[in-house]
Structure formats: structure tokens, C-alpha cells
A and B are shown apart, each in its own frame.
Chain A
Amino acid sequence: MQPLIKKLVEAYGPSGYEGQVRELVRAEIRSLPDYTSVDPLGNLIAVLKKKTKSGRKVMLSAHLDEIGVMVSHIDERGFARFVNLGGVSPLTCVGGRVRFASGVTGVIGLDARRDDPGKPPTLAELFIDFGAASRADCPVKVGDAAGFYRPMETIGEHRLVAKSLDDRIGVAILIEVMRQLKNSPHEVAFVFSVQEEVGLRGAGTAAFGLDAEVGIAVDVTRTGDTPNGPKMAVNLGGGPAIKVRDSGMLADPRVKDLLVQRAREANLPAQLEILEAGTTDAAAMQIARGGLPAGCVSIPTRYLHTPSEMVDLRDVEGVVALLVQTLQKPIEL
């Protein structure tokens, strides 16, 4: 999966501007689904048709979008001020690089004169330098959106470090599941959703449109295993994390229990996840229409929303295996 993951994480696609990464996914899955569509918000929906009468309609969702920035002002010397698209921390911006849809890159600098230099900066105290000499020379305009930019690297034996593993790793997993899933009795709708980082907006409309019977999001979660980390029972390399709750939802206990059972049957190590800050597409699916039993399989990830998010490839493979295992068998809730 590594070449696929590299392609996906290095692609451009901040919230609302998912076109490039959507085309990349569409090309990857070309002949796999029975049919594919792009809905009015830009969600890419690939459907494998139902094979048996007793099969369920299942919605899987991984979001295409990544956090990023949007240019809000350009000064006379060609420096740009910006606002955030999604949860961007000023701490991880300084010295970072951003890349725009056109491929133009810029470097983030920090005001030297600030009200309180002892405090961490705010986004308003940061700017993007394009190497321009003047406003006229600046290669971007107000409203242009950028993603952060770093190449992916392998660290240690099993670990990947990259930007946008949130949630391109979920996108890669959905593609891999689509490749491996041969004998599912269910209708499976693979939703590559938009605008998750700005309020789960794509998944909500996709869930309304699909009217599925079960929903499973595939997204990243934090881990409790870093120095002075959060008190959390999820470890990197500990296996797929089956969500119990996060700050946006209580996962449906029936979905959670089904995933736990399928992991046990396949002898897959798995962890139970309680995420105290953050949520996923599953929260939007749960309250779509008349309600959808919804849960989430998470990929344990360190340093979320920084340009150096870290996952363990064994966890990634575990999530693929757990989803394939779950989708190949009956789903009784």
C-alpha cells in the first residue's frame, strides 16, 4: 500500500478544494466499483452492488479533505496573511510550507514584533512568503487555499510520517478494501467525503442521499503512548481502534460490538477507543434521516493536525483486514 499512500498524502486537497485528490482516487479505483458518482457537494461515491437478498446497505466513509489555510490579505510587499481551514495550530505553522492548487509554494513566517513574544503566536501573527517582490508579483490572490506540504517518509521498521494521514490513510484503506472485497453479500457504498474538517458536512449529505442501514467511518485517532501524552488506552501499533465514543458521538454499541466480535474471530489485535477531543464522519451519519447505526474504525495516529502525523503500517493493514472481515459476513444488529 505504501506507493498508494504516498500518492494520496502528498496530494493537494484542503476542505472545499478536494478536486485534485478526488480525481486521483477516481483513477485508482477506475474499474472496481459497479458504479461511481460525484454528488453536489463533491463527495465521490463508489458502490459495490448487493450480492444476496439478505445483504445490508452499508456506508463506509473516509474524508478526502485535509486541514489547510486560505489567503485573506496580501500586503504591498507581496506577503500574504491567512486564515485556517479546519483545526490548524499556530505552533506547527512556523517554518512550515504550504502549497496551492497551482503548485505554488510558500513559507510561513512569524511577526518579530508581537504584543507578547513570550506567548505562542496566533494565526494572525503569521504570514506566507512567496519570494515575491510586490503585491503585483504575488502568485496567489485572496481566497486561494493551500495545504501544508511535506514529503512522506518511513521511520523505523513499520512507521510512516506524513502530512494529511488524516484522513488520506483512511482513503487508502477504503481503496484497499475495495480491491480485496470479493464476496460481500452487502451493498457497500464507499464514500470519499468532503469538508470533514470544517464540520462533517460532506458525510451528512452523503448519508442523507444514500439512506444506508449501517455506517462505518474510517478515520484517525489520537494515542496515549507519547511522553506526557493524553490518558488514553490507544497505542500506536496496538491494532485497529474500534470507537466507543468521541466528543461528537457515542458510537452505536451494536456496531462497536460487531466490530469487536469480527476482530476476535479473525484473531486481529484491536483496541477500544475513547477520544475526548475530536470526532468523525460517523457522527453526521448517525443522525442522518431517521437515524443510522454508526460506528468508526480508527487508525491510531500520533501528532494529529501537524505536518508530521505518524501511523504504524501494521495498524493500517489491521484496519483493512477488520473491514474486509466485517463486510464479508452477515451484519445483524
Chain B
Amino acid sequence: MDLLAHLKDLCTAPGISGYEGRARDLIRTAWAPLTDELHVDRLGSLWAIRRGTAAEPRPRLMLAAHMDAIGLMVTLLEGEFLRVVAVGGIDARVMPGQPVTVHGRRDLPGVVVQPPAFLLPKASREGVVPVSELLVDVGLPAALVAEQVRVGDVISLAQPPRELQGGLLAANRLDNRASVAAVTACLDELRARPPAWDVVAVATVQEEVTLGGAITAAFALEPQLAIAIDVTFGAGGGVRDFPDRTFALGSGPALGLGPNIHPKLHAALKATAERLEMPYTLEAMPQHSGTDAFGLQVARAGIPTMVVSLPLRNMHTPVEIVALKDVQRVGRLLAEFIGALTPDFMESLRLED
């Protein structure tokens, strides 16, 4: 499969949290030929089920990669301008001047503008102008804006993807479409290697706001194991002072460790990477992993959970950057781990031994 083309395609769908429809359609198209059954759950998460070869009742592994993306939402029509609020953690520093698409009665191209400093409240005149003072201009006169746009319409960032040197891709929404693409790569590899376990790849909704998609899908699916795939902070771009919290692009999967992670599941993934002689790093997650895994772990009676992360620079900006080979590696690592799962693997996770 052409991973780069697939990933660029995924990044074009807006899929703002709560409004993931178009992203879901693209992912459904990519996952349908690789799996046996598709299902959309009550909140809109997409499940793609690849049936295993073991005897029934088969154990089930859930892969969770969130498909929602951060964006903006219209709060007020102010004449010809739109006042907005962030959906998810928008980085206000890079918003002025950004091209956006306002998803009104039809899609309208727009730009984010900031009023001149002397027109802002005193507290906002210096430094970063907060999202609450930014406006979106679609170029229409007030009467036509009111026809086309309503309070609550979502707005997506509209920078097109840009291929950089060295196998890097800069794009919107690589958080977390890069992980979705890694799951696609995993499902693709599993075609040639039928797993014993049932594998349910879930493109979750609303990770950026409540983790609601992961919480509810894990309840409904009741898997024996869950792995969240998400992005982590890439090294570079002024973050050199935090070597313990950033990961070089191209350094392979970052394997999470901490209370949100089952230690023996972590060890099994690590052993898989070593068997493959694949580069990897370890990521300390002392509290909330900041991923779907935080919801997955405490669903039902508790689920052994793991986080596999992709290094990504400039998180929550329109120029998020990943290395293609990391995406490929995460897919391969997952496939190799899943392919080697034996029906009695859960025995090896017992903590009392």
C-alpha cells in the first residue's frame, strides 16, 4: 500500500471532534478491504473487525486510534465576522493568518484574523492574542454570512499537507491520522498473517475533548486487551531542554510506561520490537497518558492497556510533522505483536505471579 498517499488523504478530512463523519468515511474505505466486518457505534466510533483463527470464544484485542481533530466552532456572528471558540487544545500562537474552512450551510473558505492591538481589551494587547479575541473572515457581507453560517458550525484548519525532505510530512491533523494510518498498515500486514485473536481496530471519536469514544467503545466491545495508538512530542523546534519528554523523529515507536500501562503488556511489545531489531524509545507516563488509554484502562472491570506513540513535532498546530518510517514501524510492530498472540496470552499477564 502507498502509505504516504493514504496518510495525506486522511489529513484532508476535517473530522472535528463530535463531527467526525467525513474522516470516518475515508477510514471506512481504507479498512473495509482489510477486515471482515465494519460497525459504527452509538457515538460514531468506527469498528473494523478482523476475525481470528482460534477456537471460540476467541480473545479480542482492541486497537484505538482517535480520528477526531482539533478545530474551531462559531460562537457568535458579529456582522461580517465570526467569533469562535476552540474545540480541543488549539495553539492560539499560530492561529492568526491561518486558512480555514467554515462548515456552514456549505463549505466556505475563510481566514483567521486578529484585530489591531489598540482595539483589543487591555489584557490582550501584548503577547499572544487569545482565541476569544480572534475572528474568522469569509469575505461575505453580514446578511449573507447570516444565511450561510450558524452558531455551532465547526471550522477546520485548511493548510494543505506538505512533503518535506528526509521522508517527513507536515500536515494538519497528523494528530491522530498518523496513528490511523499506522493501524491501516498493521491491518494490511495482518492479511498475510492471520492472527489467532480477534482484532478490532477502532477509530474513536471525541478523544480531544472527553475521551468519550474510547470510554464507550471499550465498554461495548469488552476486549481482553487494548492498545491506544497516538502521537507524542517530537524533539526539535525549541524543545531541546526536555530530552526526557521528547522523542526524535525517526526513532521508532515510543512505548509508554506508567500507571496507565500494564507492565507485562509493555514488556511484550518491547520484546517484539527487540525481536524485529526495530528502533524504539521508552516514554514515561507518570499520570494521565493524555491518550484514549486513560479511558480504556478503567472500562468495565478493567482492561490491560498499552500506549504506542509516534513522535510528532509542533503538536496542535497546522504544521504537525511526522516521519513516514515511524508510521510504518508502528504498523509493523503492532502486526508482529498481534500475529504472535497465542490464545492463552492472557495467562502471561497475571500480576500475582
Q: How far is the CA of A211 from the CA of B237 in the complex (A)?
A: 48
CB of B325 within 8 Å of the partner chain = no
The docked-state distance in angstroms from the alpha carbon of A250 to that of B212 is 10
A103 close to B (CB within 8 Å): no
- Do the beta carbons of B43 and A293 come within 8 Å of each other? yes
Instruction: Identify which of A231, A249, A287, A289 gathers the most chain B CB atoms within 10 Å of its CB.
Output: A287
A312 CB to closest chain B CB (Å) equals 19
**B209:A290 contact, CB within 8 angstroms:** no
Give chain A residues whose Cβ lies under 8 Å from the Cβ of B212. 249, 286-287, 291
Residue total for B at the interface (Cβ-Cβ under 8 A): 28
- With A233-B75, A244-B151 as given contacts, are A287 and B210 in contact (CB-CB < 8 Å)? yes
A253 and B19 contacting across the interface, CB-CB below 8 Å: yes
- List residues of chain B with CB within 8 A of the CB of A290: 41-42, 216-217, 219-220
B248 to chain A, nearest CB (A): 35
Is A232 interfacial (CB-CB < 8 Å)? Answer: yes
Q: Are B216 and A249 in contact (CB under 8 A)?
A: no
In the assembled complex, A274 has its CB within 8 A of some CB on chain B:
yes
Whether B85 lies near A276 (C-beta < 8 A) is yes
List residues 208-232 of chain B with CB under 8 A from any CB of chain A: 209-210, 212-213, 215-217, 219-220
Contact B152 A274 (CB under 8 A): yes
Distance, CA A248 to CA B209, complexed state (A): 8
The answer to whether residues A250 and B18 also contact, given A290-B217, A291-B42, A291-B43 and a CB cut-off of 8 A, is yes
Chain A residues 238 to 265 lying within 8 A of chain B, measured CB to CB, are: 244-245, 248-253, 256
Min C-beta distance of A175 to chain B, whole Å = 29
Which A residues lie within 8 Å of B209 (CB)? 249-250
Q: What CA separation (Å) do A271 and B150 show in the bound complex? A: 10
Q: Report chain A residues within 8 Å CB of B152.
A: 244-245, 256, 272, 274
Question: Is B260 close to A, CB under 8 A?
Answer: no
Q: Contact between B210 and A231 (Cβ–Cβ < 8 Å)? A: no
Interface check B124, CB cutoff 8 A: no
Establish whether residues B73 and A244, one from each chain, have CB atoms under 8 Å apart when the complex forms: yes
A249 to B: closest C-beta gap in Å: 7
* CB–CB B151/A233 < 8 A: yes
**Alpha-carbon gap, A290 to B219, bound state (A):** 5
Residues of B that sit less than 8 Å from A by CB: 17-19, 41-43, 45, 73, 75-77, 83, 85, 87, 132, 150-152, 206, 209-210, 212-213, 215-217, 219-220
